[in-house]
Structure 1
Amino acid sequence: MDRKYVLLLPAPTPPPGDAASTPPLASEVAHIQKRRRVGGSGACHNCRRRKTRCDGQQPSCQSCLSREEECRYKDDLNQTDGVLVVETIRLLNDRPPEAAVQALAMLKHVDDPASIMSHLRAEDGMDFALPEQPSDRMPISGALPACMVALELQTQHPFAYPPLSPIDIENPGQDLQRLLKSCGADFPGHPRPNANPSQQAPISYSSAIDPEASDLVNAFCTEAETLWETQRIVPSTVNMAAALFLSFGYLVQGKDHNVLAYMPEVVRMGTELGLFGVEQAVAEARMDKMTPQQLKAASHTTWGVFNWIMLMALFYYQSDIDYPHHPPYLPIPEDDDVSGVGPSQGPGPDSPRYVGDTFPTVCRLWRIMHEVAMAYGQDRSTPIRDRMSLEFSEFKFRELLAWTDNLPFELVRSEQSPHHVVIFHIWLHAAILDIFRPFIRRHGQAKLRLRTFSPPMSSPDQIYAASVNQLKRLIIIYRLNHESSAFTIVWHTAMLYVANAVLQDPGDGDWLFYFLLCIYGYETLGRCYPVVEAIMGALLSMAIRNGHMTSDSAREIWAELKSKGPRRAPQVIHATFMADLELAMDDPSAATVENLAGMLEENALMDQYTNFFEMDGL
Structure 2
Amino acid sequence: MRRFVPIQPASSTNRENLESSESSSGNAGNASTTKRRRVGVSIACNACRRRKIRCDGQRPTCWNCEDSTDVCTYRDDSELSHDSKLLLLEVIRLLNSIPDDEALERLRVLRREIDTSVILTILRQDVNSGQQPDQSKSSSQEDDPFQELELASQYPNVYPTVPRRNMDTLRETTYQQLVERSSGGHQSTSARIEDRNSVDSVSDFCDPRLSKLDIQVWTKVPISSELAARTISLYLETDHPLLGFFEPDQFLSDLIEGKTKHCSSLLVNSLLYWASQMNIAQGSDDGSFTLQFSAQFLSLGYLGQGRDHAVLSYASEASHMAVRLGLFGVQIDNPALQEISILSKESRKAYMYAAWGSFNCATYMSLFYRQPGLVPPESPPHLPVPGTQENKESENKKTEHIDYKGGVFPQLCHFWSILHEVALSYARNEKPSADQRSLRFAEYKFRELLAWSNSLPNDLCRNDQNPHYVQVMYIWLHASILDIFRYAVSGPLRHSRLRTFSSPASSADRVYNASVHQLKHLIMNYRLKFSSSSYSILWHAALTYLANALLYQPKEEDWVFYFLLCVYGYERLHTHWRVTKAISTALLSLALRKGDISSTAAREILTDLDQSTASDAAPLDEAIRAGFMADLDLEAPISNSTTVENLAQDIEDNLLLEEFTNASRLK
**Aligned counterpart in structure 1 of residue 456 of structure 2, from 407, 426, 440:** 407
Moved more, 572-581 or 274-283: 274-283
Partner Cα separation in structure 2 for residue 592 and residue 410 of structure 1? 39
For the 8 Å contact 1:383–1:585, the answer to whether it is kept is no
Counterpart position of 2:345: 292
Cα distance change, pair 286–326 in 1 and its aligned pair in 2 (3 A):
farther
**Aligned counterpart in structure 2 of residue 363 of structure 1, from 413, 422, 440:** 413
Partner Cα separation in structure 1 for residue 403 and residue 639 of structure 2? 39
Counterpart position of 1:142: 139
Partner Cα separation in structure 2 for residue 194 and residue 297 of structure 1? 41
Counterpart position of 1:102: none
Counterpart position of 1:87: none
Partner Cα separation in structure 2 for residue 554 and residue 139 of structure 1? 35
Q: 1:286: how far off? A: 3.8
**Aligned counterpart in structure 2 of residue 375 of structure 1, from 397, 402, 425:** 425
1:209 is aligned to 2:282: yes
SS of alignment partner, residue 514 of structure 2: helix
Counterpart position of 1:438: 487
**Aligned counterpart in structure 2 of residue 179 of structure 1, from 175, 181, 197:** 175
Counterpart position of 1:454: 502
Counterpart position of 1:260: 312
For the 8 Å contact 2:494–2:507, the answer to whether it is kept is no
For the 8 Å contact 2:138–2:161, the answer to whether it is kept is no
Q: How many positions carry a matched residue from both structures?
A: 447
Q: 1:330: how far off? A: 0.7
Cα distance change, pair 140–602 in 1 and its aligned pair in 2 (3 A):
farther
1:247 is aligned to 2:299: yes
SS of alignment partner, residue 541 of structure 1: helix
Partner Cα separation in structure 1 for residue 416 and residue 355 of structure 2? 13
**Aligned counterpart in structure 2 of residue 587 of structure 1, from 618, 621, 638:** 638
For the 8 Å contact 2:586–2:648, the answer to whether it is kept is yes
Cα distance change, pair 357–143 in 1 and its aligned pair in 2 (3 A):
same
Q: 1:392: how far off? A: 1.7
Superposed, 1:367-516 pairs within 5 Å as 367-380=417-430, 382-385=431-434, 388-442=437-491, 447-516=495-564
SS of alignment partner, residue 164 of structure 2: coil
Partner Cα separation in structure 1 for residue 315 and residue 494 of structure 2? 39
Q: 1:370: how far off? A: 1.1
Partner Cα separation in structure 2 for residue 477 and residue 194 of structure 1? 17
Q: 1:506: how far off? A: 2.8
Partner Cα separation in structure 1 for residue 440 and residue 304 of structure 2? 36
Q: Give the residue type in structure 2 aligned to 1:433.
A: L
Q: 1:386: how far off? A: 5.2
Partner Cα separation in structure 1 for residue 342 and residue 184 of structure 2? 63
Partner Cα separation in structure 1 for residue 364 and residue 521 of structure 2? 22
Q: 1:168: how far off? A: 2.1
Q: 1:580: how far off? A: 1.2
Q: 1:149: how far off? A: 2.1
Partner Cα separation in structure 2 for residue 217 and residue 162 of structure 1? 41
- Normalized against structure 1, the TM-score is what? 0.67
Cα distance change, pair 341–383 in 1 and its aligned pair in 2 (3 A):
closer
For the 8 Å contact 2:299–2:315, the answer to whether it is kept is yes
1:526 is aligned to 2:574: yes
Cα distance change, pair 523–280 in 1 and its aligned pair in 2 (3 A):
same
Q: 1:507: how far off? A: 2.9
Q: 1:138: how far off? A: 8.4
Cα distance change, pair 522–167 in 1 and its aligned pair in 2 (3 A):
same
Q: 1:411: how far off? A: 1.1
Partner Cα separation in structure 1 for residue 594 and residue 304 of structure 2? 27
Q: 1:323: how far off? A: 2.4
SS of alignment partner, residue 168 of structure 2: coil
SS of alignment partner, residue 652 of structure 2: helix
Counterpart position of 2:371: 318
After superposition, the C-alpha distances for 1:514-566 in whole angstroms (9 at most, x for unaligned) are 00111111111112311111001100001111111011110111112211234
For the 8 Å contact 2:190–2:529, the answer to whether it is kept is no
Q: 1:257: how far off? A: 0.8
**Aligned counterpart in structure 2 of residue 304 of structure 1, from 334, 338, 357:** 357
Partner Cα separation in structure 1 for residue 571 and residue 595 of structure 2? 23
Q: 1:374: how far off? A: 1.3
Partner Cα separation in structure 2 for residue 578 and residue 139 of structure 1? 37
For the 8 Å contact 1:248–1:259, the answer to whether it is kept is yes
Partner Cα separation in structure 1 for residue 533 and residue 497 of structure 2? 37
Partner Cα separation in structure 2 for residue 429 and residue 198 of structure 1? 27
SS of alignment partner, residue 357 of structure 1: coil
For the 8 Å contact 2:190–2:528, the answer to whether it is kept is no
After superposition, the C-alpha distances for 1:218-267 in whole angstroms (9 at most, x for unaligned) are 322xxx2xxxxxxxxxxxxxxxxxx1011111100111110001111111
- Percent identity over the alignment is 39
- Normalized against structure 2, the TM-score is what? 0.62
1:279 is aligned to 2:326: no
Q: Give the residue type in structure 1 aligned to 2:468.
A: H
Partner Cα separation in structure 2 for residue 198 and residue 287 of structure 1? 46
Q: 1:435: how far off? A: 1.1
SS of alignment partner, residue 218 of structure 1: helix
- Structure 1 unmatched runs, 5+: 1-95, 98-136, 185-192, 225-242
For the 8 Å contact 2:624–2:645, the answer to whether it is kept is yes
Who wins on radius of gyration, i.e. which is larger? 2
Partner Cα separation in structure 1 for residue 190 and residue 555 of structure 2? 34
Partner Cα separation in structure 2 for residue 455 and residue 449 of structure 1? 9
For the 8 Å contact 1:393–1:435, the answer to whether it is kept is yes
Partner Cα separation in structure 2 for residue 558 and residue 139 of structure 1? 37
SS of alignment partner, residue 208 of structure 1: helix
Counterpart position of 2:663: 612
Moved more, 384-393 or 566-575: 384-393
Partner Cα separation in structure 2 for residue 540 and residue 500 of structure 1? 11
Cα distance change, pair 290–586 in 1 and its aligned pair in 2 (3 A):
farther
Q: 1:458: how far off? A: 2.1
**Aligned counterpart in structure 1 of residue 157 of structure 2, from 159, 168, 171:** 159
After superposition, the C-alpha distances for 1:478-536 in whole angstroms (9 at most, x for unaligned) are 01111111111111122111111101123322110100111111111112311111001
After superposition, the C-alpha distances for 1:68-94 in whole angstroms (9 at most, x for unaligned) are xxxxxxxxxxxxxxxxxxxxxxxxxxx
Partner Cα separation in structure 2 for residue 545 and residue 140 of structure 1? 35
For the 8 Å contact 2:434–2:493, the answer to whether it is kept is no
For the 8 Å contact 2:305–2:577, the answer to whether it is kept is yes
- Structure 2 unmatched runs, 5+: 1-88, 91-133, 193-277
Partner Cα separation in structure 2 for residue 320 and residue 582 of structure 1? 21
Q: 1:201: how far off? A: 2.4
After superposition, the C-alpha distances for 1:410-441 in whole angstroms (9 at most, x for unaligned) are 11112320000000001111111111111114
Partner Cα separation in structure 2 for residue 141 and residue 365 of structure 1? 27
RCO greater where, 1 or 2, for CA within 8 Å and sep 6 or more? 2
Q: 1:177: how far off? A: 2.8
Cα distance change, pair 301–539 in 1 and its aligned pair in 2 (3 A):
same
SS of alignment partner, residue 444 of structure 2: helix
Q: 1:289: how far off? A: 3.1
After superposition, the C-alpha distances for 1:115-156 in whole angstroms (9 at most, x for unaligned) are xxxxxxxxxxxxxxxxxxxxxx98797344521221210011
SS of alignment partner, residue 491 of structure 1: coil
